[in-house]
Structure 1
Amino acid sequence: MIDARTAPYAATLLRVSLGLLFLAHAGLKLFVFTPSGTAQFFQSLGLPGTAAYLVILAELAGGIALVAGIYARLVAPALIPILLGAIITVHGPAGFFFDNAGGGWEFLALWISGLMAVALLGDGVYALRPTSLTRATLR
């Protein structure tokens, strides 16, 4: 049974947490690896360097949209291909566990599950574009 009183707050907590993760990863690419360094890394994987800039932009825009609660039901699943790409190209070959060389893919799989939950739950409360999360829609 879902508690209709607290479910909107849980949706908000999940939405904001996932958005902050995307902002953190975009910040890592911008300020630590630098955009050109990220592009070089993408090229070393056989991907076009321009894809790095698109990923950074998607992480920034998607992270902001999730934190703010702007079209979260659409933004959340739209970000999943970025994580699937990271699994396929970098983390998947390293294995499941994060402590393997190159990191594992379990964190990304959990992140994808969280994004799917946001897509199903909606924005929650304190969103700039709230969805109608009523008792009737929670049943």
Structure 2
Amino acid sequence: MTISRSARKRADPDLGVLSAQVLFALQKELFRRLAEQGHPDLRPRHGAVLAYLDAEGSRATELAFQSGQHKQVIGTLVDELEALGYVQRRPDPQDRRAKLVVPTERGLDEMRRSDAILADIERGHAEAVGAPAYATFKDVLRRVASRQREEIR
């Protein structure tokens, strides 16, 4: 009797499947809760900008690098977020040729709420598996993510 590939995947999912399950479930909860708290127009794709945006502003090239997205994708997302009132483009005081993507008050509110929601989600996971196990999990995941990013450079 042979076991199908899909049955093996369900029994022992690989890193890609597990990380996708965590990411999609986390995004679903985060954006549902953000919508309940006054940010119903945001979508998970906007996280490629919002998750990496500094309160003082960030260059689109830096957002692209940090998120792993193409600069054109970031540009489109910044356009969407600008239309929704979350960010604005301003000249970079360090280099007048460059632009900074700067959060508006609405964007800053989203950033604060997002941080609080994610902290709450993490607290729940730490309570569920135990704080030491969760701390170890995050440390290992951080190292795996770092190693994986190095592999693609």
TM above 0.5: no
TM-score (norm 1): 0.27
Structure with more relative contact order (C-alpha pairs < 8 Å, separation 6 or more): 1
Report the structure, 1 or 2, having the larger strand content.
Answer: 2
